[in-house]
Homo-oligomer: A and B are copies of this chain.
Amino acid sequence: MIKPTLPQGTRDFPPQTLRKRQYVLQTIREVFERSGFQPLETPAMENLDTLLGKYGEEGDKLIFRILNNGLDNPGKHDQAMAGFHQVLEGQNSRAVTERALRYDLTIPFARFVAMNHGQLSFPFKRYQMQPVWRADKPQKGRYREFWQCDADVVGSPSLLYEAELSEIYLEAFRRLGIAVQIRINHRHILAALAEACGGGRLTDITAAIDKLDKVGLEKVMEELARKGFDDAQCSIIRQYLSIEGDNEEKLTATAALLGTHAKEGLTDLRWLLTFLRRPDGSDPLTIDLTLARGLDYYTGMIFEVKALEAVMGSIGGGGRYDDLTGLFGVPGIPGIGISFGVDRICDVIEEKGMFPPSIAAGPAVLFFHLGEAEARQAWQLLLALRQQGTACEMYPEAARFDKQFKYAERRHIPCVAFLGAEEIAEQTVRLKTLATGEQETLSRDAFLQRFARP
């Protein structure tokens, strides 16, 4: 008998841990729902063809593929064997694996919209909270199964949705008690920077800038030089990355440096800032010109959320895309999406001790088991208590009191109820509050009343 284990990089979620994730997801869900977003779920499995080629070459390698069933059918041996040779060469073979596990929520959503665009009413606002799987090397804070939580709007180019999703970030993190900085930039501004450098090398520039946070300005400049950017080009990029100040100052300096190329991006940013400006004149968003976002499909505004009081990478991000469903043959559906980093958000709240205490609370009452006849009486009261919405349970056997008390303690049950011969004769209940040791004898009605919801 081998001691059972979990696959590397996966986790069980025992009650206390699960309740924390549920609290985070429920808080975000309420914000989504109040903003008119609707839930969607897609299957854990997608056709491998749906996923391949969407996450870059490195991404493709991290997709968990599912072995076809029925491979032991002798009629298909040759085909399967040929297919497996392809797999060994790093290719894919439908004869061996046709399906794979969801790698993110964006591509399945695009696939869903492409398949159902005739039935959907646009703009279509959906949120999705589901696990995804990646064959990354497991390490602290990086798992092979983890939860994503996304909201997207497709079918409208309106900047109103940039505003809407910004408000969602603000409200969700306010409710979760996490102080954040929401950083924004615009792909058109990065494109204008590439234009100013002679054009055509946007990806090299964004790839280098994307590392700024981790490696610092000098290393970024070294990488660019190594990639063949000349002194004049490097000088423009350095000036760009060195722009400082408040939002207004950044907009002005960028316009001065990049000129008309940047105009559209700057106009969008200015519109959003103005639209969201608070009555006291403050801006809830912060322009971050060094923000690039690695994903290729972003084409407009991009977002990133940093927790202010925690040493933690980004806890959210997103952006506008022009044509995600074009990948599936249905072009012309623009959209915008944001994502919440659920695991990291849980870590930040844990670090700050900000989970509500109710998460750890057990049922409200444990009925002691005082013998067969007594238990039968207590059971009726337990049912009445549950009927009014109070969580409660009964110890399963007439064990020693210390054993029953210990169970209440370990389950974080704050009160225990006794219905012994005396209480049954008098139609009462004895209630003990464990924290104080206080004991009271109550009528059954008063007992129910005590736990009734306010």
Interface presence of A235 (CB below 8 A) = no
Q: Which of A105-125 contact B (CB under 8 A)?
A: 111-112, 114-116, 121, 123, 125
Interface residues on A, range: 35 or more
Chain A 385-415 against B: per-residue CB contact (8 Å), 1 yes, 0 no? 0100111111011000000000100110000
From A130, which residue of chain B is reached at the shortest CB distance? B131
Chain A 3-14 against B: per-residue CB contact (8 Å), 1 yes, 0 no? 111110011111
Q: Give the residues in chain B near A410, CB-CB below 8 Å.
A: 121
Closest approach, in angstroms, between the C-beta of A410 and any C-beta of chain B? 4
Cα-based distance from A377 to B373 in the complex (angstroms): 67
Is A69 touching B64 in the complex (CB atoms < 8 A)?
yes
Is B11 touching A39 in the complex (CB atoms < 8 A)?
no
Q: Give the residues in chain B near A211, CB-CB below 8 Å.
A: none
Indicate how many identical chains form the complex.
2
Cα-based distance from A121 to B132 in the complex (angstroms): 31
Closest approach, in angstroms, between the C-beta of A255 and any C-beta of chain B? 22
Is A126 touching B67 in the complex (CB atoms < 8 A)?
no
Is B36 touching A393 in the complex (CB atoms < 8 A)?
yes
Interface presence of A421 (CB below 8 A) = no
Is B116 touching A14 in the complex (CB atoms < 8 A)?
yes
Tell me the interface secondary structure of chain A in the complex.
Answer: mixed
Interface presence of A214 (CB below 8 A) = no
Chain A 143-181 against B: per-residue CB contact (8 Å), 1 yes, 0 no? 011000000000010101101100100010000000000
State whether A64 and B66 are in contact (beta carbons under 8 Å apart), knowing that A34-B389, A39-B15, A46-B7 are contacts in the complex.
yes
Is A123 touching B396 in the complex (CB atoms < 8 A)?
yes
Cα-based distance from A135 to B69 in the complex (angstroms): 7
Closest approach, in angstroms, between the C-beta of A335 and any C-beta of chain B? 12
From A390, which residue of chain B is reached at the shortest CB distance? B34
Q: Give the residues in chain B near A161, CB-CB below 8 Å.
A: 396
Is B391 touching A160 in the complex (CB atoms < 8 A)?
no
From A11, which residue of chain B is reached at the shortest CB distance? B43
Is B67 touching A39 in the complex (CB atoms < 8 A)?
no
State whether A88 and B99 are in contact (beta carbons under 8 Å apart), knowing that A34-B390, A47-B7, A383-B167 are contacts in the complex.
no
**Can you sample 9 A-B contacts with CB below 8 Å?**
A3-B115, A12-B42, A18-B39, A18-B40, A44-B131, A65-B67, A81-B84, A121-B410, A171-B386
